[in-house]
Structures are given as C-alpha cells and as structure tokens.
Chains A and B, each alone.
Chain A
Amino acid sequence: MHIEVESRLQKLSEMLAQSWRLARSPRMRAILRVQQEACDAMRAYLKSEHFFELLPPIIGPVTDPGIRGAKQVTIDYYGREYKIMSSAILYKQAAVSGLGRIFFMSPNIRLEPLDSALTGRHLTEFVQLDLEIANATYYDAMKVAENLLCTAIDTVRDVCAKELEMLGRSLPSFKPPFRKMTYDETVESLARHGVKLRYGVEVPWEAEHFLSKLMGEPFFIIDYPRGARGFYDREDDERPGILRDFDLLYPEGYGEAASGAEREYRHEKVLARMRESGEDPRKYEWYLKMLKEGITPSAGFGIGIERLTRYLCGLETVVEARLFPKVAGIYSP
C-alpha cells in the first residue's frame, strides 16, 4: 500500500515538474475552455442578481483560520507579519455592509497537510468564487448556490459540446432545489452504510466521497455541529450547538463543491468562538474592532473553481483543472 502511494506521488511529481508542457495539450485547452465558459456564466448570473464584483485582497494581517489543519502562509511586511489569503471571508464581511451583494474571484493559498496530495481534491493554490449577501439567511445563500451551479452546468452543456465530447463527459440537467440533509441525518445515513462517525467530527473525505457517489444529483449537508467550522459560522440561537451553515456536494463521488454559512456578527460571540478554535484574539484586532462597531448580518459561500472544473469535465483529479497546479509537498513551477 505504502509503495503504491510512493509511486503515485513520484509520478505526480514528475508530471508537475514539467507543468509548462500541459499548457500545450489539446485536452488542457478543452478543459480551460469549459472553465472559462462556466466562470463567464456565473459572473453573468451574479451581475443579473445585482452583485458587485470586487477586486480580491491578497494579503492582510489575518486571514481565514477555518481551513481544517492547513497552514497559512506568512510573509514579512515591513517588519510585521502578514498572511496570504487562505480565504477572503473576513473582508467579505467587511465589504458586504456597505455594498449589499458582493463577490470576489479570489486566489487563495492553503498549505494543506501532506496526506492531501493524492485525494484528487486538494490544491495548495486555488481560486474560489467567494460571495456574500447582506441580511440573508443560509437558505437564501443556498438558493444562490443552486442557481449558480445549474447556470454553470447548463451553459457548459450548451456551449462546450465539442469539448465535453473530447473529454468523454456528459452532463445531466438538474432542477433546484437540491436535497438538504442535516449533519445528524448524514451521520445516521453513513452509519446505515457501515461508516461510523463520531458526532461533532467533520465528515471525512472518504465518507464524503462515499456519500457523493451514492447521490444522483448535487445535495447539501446543513447544520454542522459547533466545533466543526470556523468562528464566523453563526450558531443557531434556538438550537445551541448547531451552526447555520452548509456544504454543497457534487454527485458521482466528486465531493465538496461549496461551503457557506450565515455569519456571526456579534463580537462577544466571535471572541468565545475564537477561543474554541485556539486562536489568539490579539491577532484579529481590526476585525474585532469592526464587529464591535457593528456590521450588517450576512450569509455567503465560496465555490472552488478548480473543483467545479473537475466536476464539469469529469476529471480524475483537480490537478488537471488548472495550469501550474501546486500540490502539498511537491515542488513544482
């Protein structure tokens, strides 16, 4: 088993070491065409829904800590420590107060744990369409997510027939609303299939893959327990311990598409939740000051472009879904 992992890693390293060659292949051209059409369609849809597209921030004193064990990148900023965005979540909350509906095409860096190299789902550098809606519930956000995904799928199916044929991919048509399973139901359903999960623990990659294979269409897992997510996912006041959040998953074993939530905007709640995630509040000085001043409640999500591309094109791994991919532990251009 170990030898097999080693040899797969070796093969991947060799391919990535010459990643410039990938840009010349017709297959990559087809994949990138699909990606471009999907992004254009999503942009157009959001514009029609009165969203502002903002230029994404790349660095700042703090970034998103809710990244499941991945490491942030720290840079020296004139003698102080700055982070490269692992996600622009904190800035989304800052921007949405004035602008109402916003999104970024946000490049993010997360130094994922080394065991993520062969999951087929993790890149250390990736782009997400990251959006936020003022005065919205997580159900509102899920509605946007459904429409966004359907728009991308329908457009690609219509416009990129040639490319899809070349990639050997056929895309079905889905009709929102998608099925919503609570975290509790998910744990039960997994248990019925013999996958045991301790309550409070994130649905692991393998279990997510398993569920995603079982489903014939995209679906949501909602209401994660507290402790599973970042400090900014809002806890339900009526149901303590339950977060008003969701993951959107692709069918066919492609796993997580998007992750979102209603946001906690009360600074005292955020402080306690920061402690839960072992964070030093001193680091989040600007953010906490902003919350104390008061911000508009909001909900939003981020959808990974490479993972979307992987699904649309039916690719084996997300590594194929962009040029110059970076994978945990592999040194490549």
Chain B
Amino acid sequence: MWWFTIESLFSRAFSKALLGIVGLSSFFEDLREAWSSYPYKEIIRRARKGVDAVYPQGRFWPALMAVKGAAVVEQPRRFATLDDILLLPPAFTPLRLKKMSEILREPNYTDVDLGTEFGGFRASMPLMVASMGSVQVANSVSLEIAKAAGRLGVPMGVGENVATMWGYSKRIRSNQPCFKERVMTYLEATEGGVGGIVIQQSVEDAYNELWNLVYSDPDVEPYIEKGAVGFEVKIGQGAKPGLGGEAMVPLKEAERLRDKYHIPEVSEMEGGGYVTRHSAPGTYTPDILRGMVRMMRNNYPRCRLWIKLGPFRDLPQVLRILLEERVDAVWIDGKEGGTGMSPLASMKHLGLPLLAALCSIVEFLANRESGTSLLAAGRLYDGGHLVKCLCLGLDGMVVGRPMVISAWAAGARGVENYVRTVEVEAKMLISALGKYSVKELGPEDLGCLDQELAERLRIRYVYG
C-alpha cells in the first residue's frame, strides 16, 4: 500500500499548490479590477503633484505624453456620462470684453471667479465634499479631509452612522476619529465664514437623536448661530438606491450595536472576525417627506436643510415636493457614485446613471426660480465635470472618493492639491468659454456626442 500513500500525498500537495495559484491569481485579479475600475492613478497624481497634474506629463517621456492630443477619453462603458458632453468655446466673447472693461487688461483664466453660494453656505468654489459615513476607509482619513476642506472653504458633509459606530465626542476605538472630531476639525479650519458642514442622520442615528445632540452642543453653537451648520436627510445612495448603509464591523463590536442595527445572528457570521452591519434605508412617502422637512424646519430653525437623493425613477416627483418645501439644497448621486460598501448586485443592477437622472429633472434645471440649490455626484472628479454640471444648471458638484484617495495618497496636503487642480481646470475651461463667473455659464456652452441625449438635455448635438 506504500504507493497509495505517496500518490495521495503527492496529489494533496499538488492540489494545494494549484489552489494556492488560483488564490494568488484571483487576488491579483481583484487588485487589477479594483485599480482599473476608477481613475485612482489620476487622482493620486493630482494629490501628489498639485496643479502640475493638470498637464499630461509622464514620468519618463514628457514629450511623448505631450503629443497624446485629444485621444484621452475613450473607455468602454455601459452608459453615457458627462464625458459624452463637450464644452464648446465660441470665438466671439462679449463677456470677455465686459471683463476687460472691468479690469482694464486682457483677462486671463486666473480672473475667473469661482466664489459662490449654495445650500445656504458661502463657498470658495462650487464644490462640496460628499457626506461620507462610518466606513473605515473614509473615517480613518476623515480628519485630513476635514482640515483641508475647511481651509479651502469648501462645504463638507458628515455621513451617517459615524456617531453611532465611532462615538459622538469620545473615540470608541483609538484609531478611529469620532463624530465630533470630524465636525470640529472642519469648523475650526474654516475662515471668514466661508464653508459649512452638513450632518446626516440615519434611522439608527435617529435612535440616538444625533441632530438634537448637535443642536444643543455648546461647541457647535457658535457655528449654528453663524449659519454654518446644516442637517441632511439621506434618501438613498447612488451605488445602492433603496438599500441602507452597509458596513463590515468587527465581531466584538457587533453585540454593542445589536440594539440599533440589523446584524445577522452568530450562526450566519463568517469571514475573519467581521460581520455585516445593515442599516435601514428609511421609509418615505410624499407625506412623510413633506412632514419630515417641516419637522426639521420647526425643530432646527437655525440649520440649513439638505437632502441627498439616490438615482430613483421618481426623482421628478420627489424633487417637486422638496422645491415646494424650499429646502436649502438637494444633491443627486448617480449610480456611478462611490460606496463605502455595496452589494455587487446593486452596483450592477440598481438605479439610474447620473446623466439619466439629470435627464429626468431637466425641467427643474431649466427653470431655477426656487431658492433650492441642486448639486450632482457620481464619479465626478475633474474641472471639466464641474464646469459641465454648472452649464447644465446645477449649482455645484459633490465629490467623495477623490477626497479619500487624495487623503490616503498625501494627507491633508493631498486633498488641498487635488482641489486646487479642479479649481485651476475649472477656471481654464470657464475662461475658454469666454466667461468669468459661475453664474454666466449655461446650456449654450455644451455640445453632446449623442443626438437623442442632446435633445433630452436641451443642448446642441455636436454634429448637428
């Protein structure tokens, strides 16, 4: 029987090796897939190099990169994005003449004024840091982001579950900033009343009355009085409309959180001492939404009122109510939006891409009488995206992932660098359109590569 033992030994070793190779290759495949699924490289370059990253310089062959020309945008995609829209500068630029008469010299791109107001806040530029929640990848670098955003005068959101997961004013885990650190780091970094912070409350945070806590917090009070604090209701998220926040939490945290979250029973738990924590998406009807807005106005009259919307099919109905109730801002997160943690199936199958969502509310974008600011999010990350949003009638663009990646790449400095690149790009593009302030932009500055989409968005077809 000796041959049998050797053979079985051999085959066991062989199959183990085989499994090892499969495991290793799938590890690299995961890595490759993750890397190629988002422009990490570009954002990291912005974070590290700052404004120099606005130009396509390669590390070794700058000259070679310089001849790349316009072929820089082709990517296989499932749906149209803002990259299917181009900015179309005119030769005749009466507004440039107007600017010239103001400054008495030929205007340059640096003469573009990006300063603006949205959602009840003054902002140095039409950019907003998305309300990122408690997921560790975002929470770990949240103070760097807060510091940079505050200094830059860019409004920022604090997402749901942070206080419930990581503590309100005391850290529950020594390596994870708590809720109030994030808020105060931002507020203390702001200068001259530029910027503002909005605070989301999930169903589970409501259990702890997060908003009430903030509203009567003596440290936040001076900023509430100045009008620099807003509260945000999250109705869905781009990558997982209809689902609540999901996160992996260490097994030892699970029992502490069981009162408030849905957490599977121990028998279902698996996977390296972590367990999935589900939060509720929240239930809405037109009545509930209207009532909620009114309740917030009554309970927190000194706070701005923000709404985050996932890419739902009934966006126009939802938006109509919100505009009637005159909330301060609504931002719409397209299905390409980032995710702390979303099921694959939701990212693949749920919700409208951003451009489709914008198509559905084009009437609202065309007719901006109300005092409500509209913003968009979902894989938007450069100055071009920002300018296109503004031309479409939005008041600004919301970024999440670029902030996290920049912070991981180069800390608060990286976040500042990244934002500067967006700022410089936006100024260049706006000046190219012969315009010098955010308010002057309009749909006439846009052209679409697709005829049907152009009609739907009420902009010109580039080949038309």
Contact = CB atoms under 8 A, between A and B. Distances in A.
B299 A225 contact: no
Nearest to A202: B298
Interface stretch (A27-35, A131-139, A275-283): A275-283
Nearest to B208: A74
B7 interface: no
Nearest to B282: A275
Given A69-B215, A71-B212, 4 more contacts: A111-B212, A113-B216, A272-B283, A280-B204
A200 B297 contact: yes
B221 A204 contact: no
A275 B292 contact: yes
A71 B215 CA distance: 8
B287 A278 contact: no
Contact of B233 (A80, A113, A278): A278
B204 A276 contact: no
Contact of A272 (B287, B293, B297): B287
Contact of B291 (A71, A74, A227): A227
Nearest to B298: A202
B55 interface: no
B201 A112 contact: no
13 contacts: A72-B209, A114-B216, A200-B325, A201-B297, A226-B287, A227-B290, A272-B283, A275-B284, A276-B287, A277-B292, A278-B295, A279-B206, A280-B207
Contacts of B295: 227-228, 276-278
A273 interface: yes
Interface of B: 201, 203-204, 206-209, 211-213, 215-216, 218, 221, 225, 233, 259-260, 280, 282-285, 287-288, 290-302, 325-326
A293 interface: no
Nearest to A62: B207
Interface string A105-117: 0000001111100
Given A69-B212, A198-B297, A200-B294, A280 B206 contact: yes
B252 to A, nearest CB: 16
Interface residues of A, number: 35
Contact of A71 (B204, B216, B301): B216
A328 interface: yes
Interface in A199-231: 200-202, 204, 225-228
A227 B298 contact: yes
A63 B280 CA distance: 22
A68 B299 contact: yes
Contacts of B297: 198, 200-201, 227
Contacts of B207: 280, 282-283
A270 B233 CA distance: 20
A321 to B, nearest CB: 22
A126 B257 CA distance: 33
Contacts of B294: 200-201, 225-228
A273 B284 CA distance: 10
B298 A70 contact: no
A329 interface: yes
The SS class assigned to the B binding surface is helix
A232 B301 CA distance: 22
A68 B288 contact: no
Given A71-B216, A112-B216, A275-B284, A198 B326 contact: yes
A116 to B, nearest CB: 9
Contacts of A275: 282-284, 288, 292
B204 A272 contact: no
Contacts of A277: 291-292, 295
A70 B216 contact: yes
- Nearest first, the 9 closest Cβ-Cβ pairs linking A and B are A227-B294, A276-B291, A69-B299, A71-B212, A227-B291, A280-B207, A200-B294, A202-B298, A275-B288
Contacts of B290: 227, 276
Contacts of B284: 275
Given A200-B294, A227-B294, A70 B212 contact: yes
Which of A226, A273, A276, A283 gathers most chain B CB within 10 Å? Answer: A276
B448 to A, nearest CB: 39
Interface string A12-48: 0000000000000000000000000000000000000
B297 to A, nearest CB: 6
Contacts of B208: 74
A200 B296 CA distance: 11
Contact of A227 (B212, B221, B233, B293): B293
B206 A71 contact: no
Given A227-B291, A278-B206, A68 B285 contact: no
Contacts of A81: 259
A272 B291 CA distance: 10
A280 B300 contact: no
Contacts of A204: 301
A148 B212 CA distance: 33
A278 B201 contact: yes
A204 B282 CA distance: 29
B55 to A, nearest CB: 47
A271 B456 CA distance: 40
Contacts of A198: 297, 326
Nearest to A282: B207
A201 B298 contact: yes
Contacts of B288: 272, 275-276
A68 B298 contact: yes
A202 B225 CA distance: 19
A227 B296 CA distance: 9
A76 B291 CA distance: 32
A138 B96 CA distance: 66
Which of B221, B284, B295, B296 gathers most chain A CB within 10 Å? Answer: B295
